[in-house]
Chains A and B, each alone.
Chain A
């Protein structure tokens, strides 16, 4: 069979003084953009948040200016092969960040076929295209009727890419396609993109915070700028190494992740970056246990009910023994699906243990006014919980409960009937001062993350549980978060993080608890092992 990939004509992109303002906004999202992409070129698009990267991608995909955005303003010209993107339907295909919303249909084959159907490709030609596309992204071994909900995050993103490839686009647009994935998923998607785009010869435009993932795979890096009064178009363009050489400093200061530059945390102990929390003189309270888990098994669904019979849930992880100590940090790592978040939520008193026990020490019970009657965090009232254990969820929006940033910060202290003296300090500390009256949902990703941490800290918890706190964050927010956490550690707070971010674990001087290795049901059993070697018992931090 002749390769269908050769049927693709790569697209040319031309922007001349192009600008876009969303309806109802005073500031332009993109302004004065001049950009040329040669057919077949692979380009990485960088820039601080607010530079208009996503807006450009959406415009090229032809999805800007739909019904709900009709008082938007466009200036200049943006063309694909000399035509407006909205008239060039099917010339460009877009993959976005959130894997869950990249899947449209329930079966793998149907989902890949969806785009081709919409472009009115003759049915007899669709299925060969579907098979070819799945092959190109490395999902060729899946049956076409494989359910899409059973795919991992990385597989879902590759499926979305296959759906785009089946449209045979001349331009492939990727908007942070790996921001929500674990390290293995990131490489899996990156490799699939490069293989598929090289095979089809299509033009590629990628937006991504993490430069090192794409640097060696692209022909050119383009940097968009953003000043205090708005986006400022292209500020640098050229060979990846040359651009990073000349712009690296400025980009890093704006929060772009530059290879080889791990942000330095303020207030870090000398030699920070070396995992040595146990030997740090600052953690004098390091031997006080706050929370312990004994023979703990964890599961999301406590009991599932079918008919009138009920079955005990199968724990995703069991036999966990660990102590969380004041002034120490523990990082829980391991592949997706191994039960890291479930473990963290159980320790945080938000899920009931499937078996075994989570017990707060007398030290933890004494933190805060109302002393709980029982030592298990799961039995505590919310009021008793938040002064003892604070949990920061992966998705900040899940934790927003009021209409303004200021009210968010006041919410915890008010529930406790406390003063709000710490609120102003937190506002300032996390660079949220100017946003006190803003609606939390309208903040940028980094601002949302900082707010969600600040709201939990407003109640002064002794133990902080963080679920992927650095996912998708730019380097600047990363550094601020890290500095704040170091300070908390020095004050004797215990920190448990679920994270894939090795730099983060190192920066906090955290002990690492590695879960899993095997997959699926085999995991139930003592699957934990410790990587750093200086804890008295496994999982001790």
Chain B
């Protein structure tokens, strides 16, 4: 028995850390993306507020399974919430008015129909965006790459190359700031007016591009020197599906079913075209 346990530890050194994670943290990234696809596909057909509202409610209920709470979600998702509100508002204002007018100000009028439409847009935006935020919050990029290459059989050169390049994106933010300062120290954007400022930004972008390419080619040499890119390779972290993954996908099916089902039942379901 003890040999088995030792073996498991030898094969997956992160097993212990993963066991302490909430359910969605333990699930295979591929299953999580499958769940994402189920919810998205179910929700793109109609713009009614009911199906989207139920989906948003369910999504908020599963937050603890991803180790998130409302505050952490807000920190990650506020730009999306802002975009959804904006989209909903403009739809409500601009949609053709049918039914009783609720609100009128100059050229803006809002009827009951357009209000519901706007609400539908807002909720739908959230219902589709939130699962992606939740999944990304509890997925290690390396694990995602593992499962895309091993289970989905995407070409490993592509997957691992992308993964390594993503790590450099964080460095680019820092580099952007440094290049900006370095160029100011040279006198770029000398007079401080809008035009020279714009030209300075362009030059700064070019500088960043040059640095990124140089970094990337050095990284490519590093990877090649470690034997990357030719011949068969093994995977130190075998990516496997487990019962948890079945629950994750089933959960998504239930959320999608509830949303669409209630919506159809109450006659709110309205296919877009």
For B187, the chain A residues whose CB sits under 8 A away are: 382-383, 385-386, 411-412, 415-416, 459
Question: Which of A120, A300, A306, A401 counts the most chain B CB atoms within 10 A?
Answer: A401
Cβ-defined partner of B183 (8 Å) among A62, A345, A383, A399: A399
Question: Is there an interface contact between B185 and A390, defined as CB atoms closer than 8 Å?
Answer: yes
For A110, the chain B residues whose CB sits under 8 A away are: 142, 236-237
Per-residue CB contact flags for chain B residues 162-204 toward chain A (1 = under 8 Å, else 0) read 0110011011000001110111111111111000000000010
For A167, the chain B residues whose CB sits under 8 A away are: 226-227
Q: Which of A124-132, A206-214, A275-283, A420-428 touches B?
A: A124-132
Within 8 A of B (CB), among A367-415: 381-383, 385-386, 390-393, 395, 397-401, 411-412, 415
Question: Is there an interface contact between B231 and A441, defined as CB atoms closer than 8 Å?
Answer: no
Question: Is there an interface contact between B7 and A308, defined as CB atoms closer than 8 Å?
Answer: no
Alpha-carbon distance between A12 and B187 when the two chains are bound, in angstroms: 53
The distance from the CB of B90 to the nearest CB of chain A, in whole angstroms, is: 21
Within 8 A of B (CB), among A449-473: 455-456, 459
Cβ-defined partner of B11 (8 Å) among A106, A124, A382, A390: A124
Judge if A529 is at the interface, Cβ distance under 8 Å: no
Within 8 A of B (CB), among A33-88: 58, 61-63, 66
Question: Is there an interface contact between A118 and B227, defined as CB atoms closer than 8 Å?
Answer: yes
Answer whether A348 and B10 are a contact pair too, CB < 8 Å, given A117-B233, A382-B192: no
Question: Is there an interface contact between B238 and A398, defined as CB atoms closer than 8 Å?
Answer: no
Q: Which of B22-30, B42-50, B114-122, B211-219 touches A?
A: B211-219
For B141, the chain A residues whose CB sits under 8 A away are: 106
Judge if B272 is at the interface, Cβ distance under 8 Å: no
Alpha-carbon distance between A383 and B188 when the two chains are bound, in angstroms: 8
Question: Is there an interface contact between B231 and A120, defined as CB atoms closer than 8 Å?
Answer: yes
Cβ-defined partner of A350 (8 Å) among B14, B140, B185, B233: B185
For B181, the chain A residues whose CB sits under 8 A away are: 345, 350-351, 391, 393
For A239, the chain B residues whose CB sits under 8 A away are: none
Q: Which of A93-101, A322-330, A511-519 touches B?
A: A93-101
Q: How many residues of B contact A (CB 8 A)?
A: 59
Alpha-carbon distance between A93 and B226 when the two chains are bound, in angstroms: 7
Answer whether A397 and B210 are a contact pair too, CB < 8 Å, given A124-B7, A382-B190: yes
For A123, the chain B residues whose CB sits under 8 A away are: 11, 234-236, 238
Name A58's closest neighbour in chain B (CB-CB): B221
Answer whether A385 and B184 are a contact pair too, CB < 8 Å, given A58-B221, A123-B234, A308-B78: yes
Within 8 A of A (CB), among B77-96: 78
Alpha-carbon distance between A482 and B125 when the two chains are bound, in angstroms: 61
Answer whether A127 and B13 are a contact pair too, CB < 8 Å, given A382-B192, A386-B186, A401-B186: yes
Question: Is there an interface contact between A350 and B235, defined as CB atoms closer than 8 Å?
Answer: no
Question: Is there an interface contact between B184 and A398, defined as CB atoms closer than 8 Å?
Answer: no
Judge if A89 is at the interface, Cβ distance under 8 Å: yes
Question: Is there an interface contact between B191 and A383, defined as CB atoms closer than 8 Å?
Answer: yes
Which positions in A face B, CB cutoff 8 Å? 58, 61-63, 66, 89-90, 92-94, 96, 98, 100-107, 109-110, 113-124, 126-128, 130, 144-145, 149, 160, 163-164, 167, 300, 306-308, 345, 348, 350-351, 381-383, 385-386, 390-393, 395, 397-401, 411-412, 415-416, 441, 455-456, 459
Instruction: For the A-B complex with A100-B215, A382-B186 known, give 18 more contacts whose Cβ atoms are closer than 8 Å.
Output: A103-B167, A104-B219, A105-B167, A109-B14, A110-B237, A115-B227, A117-B236, A119-B233, A120-B234, A123-B235, A167-B227, A382-B184, A383-B191, A391-B185, A392-B185, A398-B207, A399-B182, A415-B190
10 A-B pairs closest in CB distance: A118-B227, A115-B226, A398-B182, A391-B185, A383-B190, A101-B218, A113-B236, A350-B181, A381-B192, A94-B225
